[in-house]
Structure 1
């Protein structure tokens, strides 16, 4: 297939219908059966797929409608993880998050036994494939993210003495799922890696605010800026080594506060090591304030790699007009061939079950992005 210029996609999640959130609550209260909940979930995926098609996206997702969050859902899918409410792990957890202005998911997937191979997203993909003929992206948590998010000193240490031990077992599970998805015909597998993106805010001997929160709640220790960077690179490369026949990308986001000393600095702070991660595409946040200049990152991007450019702010409800999106893209036009530039929102619109973002606004934002892609193709030519 000849690659489009300015291919459009989404990062992963799309806002859930109000009736789906209500259905989850009713299921948790025992008011509806699992079969009834599954029917709601199927309908929500069909609705999301149709909206993404109507918005004009080239590569779609199922909106992660079935997942309680972008990472905690592994507690429901992979044996060995258990979902534990954050204040049961640490009674002061919510106060700790407020102190550092760093929000984590309240239901934490924690490794309590040795994790074992299991389908993570293949079932989701098969259903999505049954209701669309568009190209499909599937998102999976990265091993570095899982290591930081799910190892707990109290609950995990007996089976996994060190967080790195957990990461190695998860890599085995992840590789098998990537291979299953590739063989089933997935077009794009995206590894979600916000913990690596957050490292932009860290110093050599001082962690970023998210790691400070995890240290306080889960007891994991920061290894130093360079050591964390090397570890993330090596874990991701080990997970995808030798797997070909499918596009693999990595999503990094960050939520810079205006008072951060790294406000306005982008992912180039992770260079050169970040360029050694053997993914095809870097899916990066650049529309939100303080995220830096994508041209700085793009100018040293290896010639065989793509940039999934974040051009839609998923925190601001104001809908960008297509020309604003065009201007955001033009920051890297001239630095990269248009076939190497994909357009997507900064992050998922609803990475957690209860994040409030109106579907109509998300739809309008995505529609504006696809209209911008048409303008860019006319301006710079379809190649």
Structure 2
């Protein structure tokens, strides 16, 4: 038995790219110069991914401003005063607010995928932002001449096109980032907002065939950023039953940093539906200590006692740098953790085999 193992997405950007982003923002370099730095970082990221032995790669999100806002980069109808997301250490992230319609993506994920696939023969997965996250940019008091119903219809169309474009460009799989799922239970403990998110994402997923949905996955985590999280204190018991109602074939679930992983695995086993596979997090991007392959192996074997091994895979808990300016984890640590995950999964596969 060979258990599948996949990265989640983002890798910390090299210093020269971070410097370049600052220079570009200050107007001291142009878009072509910045694109050259991004291409250099992408090539290095893919090369280092291959050195870890990872069977599946990502572009490390080297060209994305963030995992959540890449479709918005370049749009004019935005104000900066959108929803604020607080993290446990006191820092915040703020989404933009849509000011006019119709809503259209300015950038699609397949543009990142195409550049990555040109540089490697290995399978490449593509992360996209879930429609539910982007739904938060619509203001609570509405937009004159552009009702919420029309915005949601446009958003579903755009989210479908983002996923479909990546599948048609040859993505090994497409991962919907759904970190707002767990956060929604902090914003609305009744679960009503979570159910709205699930229904909205299913409106997108229902546009794909069963075969296509086998290659579409959903990632959940408590929102790692700058070595902090926004919703680790929210009980997984409130999220997981609804999570597996999403009509996707793969689920990537943060687990290494969870306080009671055995309980969480029990919840997964209880709610995982036929045809669904769960990839459990076996490395913690927020912990600066690099896990050993043996630790990873033992985490996988413990999971395999609760979740059927033929429905199990491994991943990192979260991306290592979901926002471009997050420098809390080094590239060296990120790739060391990925290598430990790959090797530990291989050791567990041998034991299970």
Q: Deviations 1:206-240 (Å, cap 9, x if unpaired)?
A: xx1xx3xxxxxxxxxx5x62322321221111101
Could you say which residue in structure 2 is the equivalent of 1:109? 96
2:163 to 178, 183, 189: 178
Could you say which residue in structure 2 is the equivalent of 1:284? 253
Could you say which residue in structure 2 is the equivalent of 1:251? 219
Contact 1:5 1:338 in 2 (8 A): no
Aligned equivalents of 2:217 and 2:179: distance in 1?
13
Contact 1:75 1:110 in 2 (8 A): no
Q: Secondary structure at the match of 2:314?
A: strand
Could you say which residue in structure 2 is the equivalent of 1:195? 180
Could you say which residue in structure 1 is the equivalent of 2:269? 299
Aligned equivalents of 1:271 and 1:325: distance in 2?
23
Contact 1:111 1:152 in 2 (8 A): yes
Instruction: Kindly report which structure 2 residues correspond to 1:346-365, keeping only aligned pairs within 5 A, or say none.
Output: 346-356=317-327, 357-365=329-337
Aligned equivalents of 1:124 and 1:185: distance in 2?
12
Q: Secondary structure at the match of 1:319?
A: coil
Q: Deviations 1:106-138 (Å, cap 9, x if unpaired)?
A: 5x3332222125551111111111011111111
TM-score of the aligned structures, taking structure 1 as reference length: 0.81
Could you say which residue in structure 2 is the equivalent of 1:229? 194
TM-score of the aligned structures, taking structure 2 as reference length: 0.88
Q: Secondary structure at the match of 2:244?
A: helix
Q: Deviations 1:149-199 (Å, cap 9, x if unpaired)?
A: x22347x6335444x653332111111222222222111111111111224
Is there any run of 5+ residues in structure 2 with no aligned partner, and where? none
Could you say which residue in structure 1 is the equivalent of 2:304? 333
Contact 1:144 1:235 in 2 (8 A): yes
Could you say which residue in structure 1 is the equivalent of 2:120? 132
Instruction: Kindly report which structure 2 residues correspond to 1:1-383, keeping only aligned pairs within 5 A, or say none.
Output: 5-76=2-73, 79=75, 82=78, 84-86=79-81, 97=86, 101=89, 103-106=91-94, 108-113=95-100, 114-116=102-104, 119-148=107-136, 150-153=137-140, 157-158=143-144, 160-162=146-148, 165-199=150-184, 202=185, 208=186, 211=187, 222=188, 225-244=190-209, 245-246=211-212, 247-254=215-222, 263=233, 265-266=235-236, 268-290=237-259, 292-293=261-262, 294-300=264-270, 301-356=272-327, 357-381=329-353
Equivalent pairs counted in the alignment come to 343
Contact 2:86 2:92 in 1 (8 A): yes
Is there any run of 5+ residues in structure 1 with no aligned partner, and where? 203-207, 212-221
Change (3 A) 1:158 1:358: same
